[in-house]
Amino acid sequence: MSTDEPQAPPPPPHPPPAGDRPGAGGGAPWWRLPAIALAVALIASALFALSRDTRSPAGLETPADQARAACDLMARVPERFDVESAWQEQQYRLGAAEALAGLAAEGEPRYRPLAEAMARPRQVVTQAFSTDTPEFTAALEGVRAACRDA
């Protein structure tokens, strides 16, 4: 060999340890931290779900309770109200009473007449966009009669 020819560098004495090479085995796998985080999240979610109270709100557990709550809501609906200024609040009240009465009727069919009566005032107001009508007065009277019978 001549001294003019470039010489190859000598081979390394040994390869770097496996844990130092990217993608090589050894050390903690890349997926361990996300897997632990997922497991903790699942356990926390399960504990939360198991600790939640899934019963109905107090006082609304039976169809009779639901019917009573619907009648209590309708008792707060005034005979007349300005639809333009008070419709939002009264619409929620009418809708909630209707939904509660419907729920009571699903639980016990004897509340079906109450549910039908509860739907009428909201229907009248949405058709006439007024509470100053004989139809609205009659609808409220129908609700009151149904509440007395329930």
Residue 57 falls inside a structural domain: no
Residue 47 falls inside a structural domain: no
Select from 16, 125, 104 the least CA-distant residue to 59.
104
Per-residue pLDDT, 25: 53
Residue 32 falls inside a structural domain: no
H helix runs in 26-82, sequence order: 32-51, 63-75
Report field, pTM of the whole predicted structure over 0.75: no
Residue 1 falls inside a structural domain: no
**What is the domain extent for residue 79?**
63-149
Residue 114 falls inside a structural domain: yes
Residue 12 falls inside a structural domain: no
Domain count, the chain: 1
Q: What is the DSSP letter of 133?
A: S
Q: Work out the average pLDDT over 62-85.
A: 93
Most confident of 13-17, 39-43, 122-126: 122-126
Chain-wide mean pLDDT for the chain? 83
Residue 54 falls inside a structural domain: no
Residue 105 falls inside a structural domain: yes
